[in-house]
Amino acid sequence: MKPFNPQRRTLLTTAASLTGLGASLAITSGCASLDTPTQAPGAADVLAVRQPRVGDRWRYARINLYNKDIIGEERTQVTAVTPDIQIRVEREGALQATEDRFTQGWTAQVDSLFGEALSFEEAVPIVPPSLYIGLRLRHSTRYRSVRNSEPLAWSQQLWVVARETVGVAAGRFDAYRIERQVQFVHPDTFRMDSQRTEVLWYAPEVGRWVIREWRGSYLDYGMISRLGRSREGWERLELIDWKLAA
């Protein structure tokens, strides 16, 4: 794996020209932990992530990266901040809204990024409460969804890779690039070695990510020798507009 590049880079995105996710990264099981970077950050290099406030809202375009089609819009709004941060998520075409829940920062108790609400026994970081280039976190827990009443294993690693300038429909932003690699047990017992890779750009000005995208793959039991890895979805959220509460 190449060393992290702490220098700021520029990333411009359009619906017609979109970057893929980074290469797969190895997962190490264990409890949540912090890996010390090569050089410890100074106080000025650590960003305290803004806590969401009731009334904050963001609107995104959802893009299918396989064919570059715009699927629709996703509208999110903070409806409560105690005891947990509650986010109402309305997706165009969905029969009803869902509710994501986070603890400190953007540490997910319930997250519906992957098309269904996943509830974690121990909250997992999406954006850590404090950011600096080179931060690495490992976390293992169990999750439930509507498809599995019994908890299943979930293991992830997260990296804060770089600061980059990102251009989307809402404007250009200075953002932190955060990558996450997940291995988990899928409710479908015919799916083996399920993996998902995510990359997002968190912009302090916006108080949330301006881009968040993911893709997944797995081994299909009985078809491994013929087909290799099967693919899940490959989607991206791009910020259209936002408004933060005073």
CATH code for the domain of 91: 2.40.360
Give the model's pLDDT for residue 234: 95
Domain that holds residue 138: 11-36+46-243
Q: What is the largest CA-CA distance in the chain?
A: 57
Count of C-beta atoms within a 10 Å radius of residue 167 = 16
| Residue 12, pLDDT above cutoff 60 | no
60 domain residue, yes or no? yes
1 domain residue, yes or no? no
Least confident of 32-36, 83-87, 156-160: 32-36
d(CA 229, CA 224): 7
Give the model's pLDDT for residue 226: 61
Give the model's pLDDT for residue 19: 39
Q: Express each pLDDT in 171-185 by its tens digit.
A: 999 999 999 999 999
d(CA 162, CA 179): 10
For residue 81, count CB atoms less than 10 angstroms from its CB and return exposed for 0-12, middle for 13-18, buried for 19 or more: middle
226 domain residue, yes or no? yes
From residue 84, alpha-carbon distances to 54, 63, 167, 213 in Å are 12, 29, 31, 24
6 domain residue, yes or no? no
4 domain residue, yes or no? no
First to last CA, the chain: 42
Confidence of residue 244 (pLDDT cuts 50, 70, 90): very high
For residue 102, the one-letter residue type is F
Count of C-beta atoms within a 10 Å radius of residue 115 = 14
206 domain residue, yes or no? yes
41 domain residue, yes or no? no
Whether the upstream peptide bond of residue 83 has omega within 30° of 0, thus cis, is: yes
200 domain residue, yes or no? yes
The structure's pTM equals 0.84
The answer to whether the CB of 182 falls within 8 A of the CB of 139 is no
d(CA 183, CA 197): 9
Q: Which two tokens stand for residue 125?
A: 């970081």
Alpha-carbon 229 to chain mean position = 22
Q: Which two tokens stand for residue 48?
A: 């305290």
| Residue 40, pLDDT above cutoff 60 | yes
Q: How many domains does the chain have?
A: 1
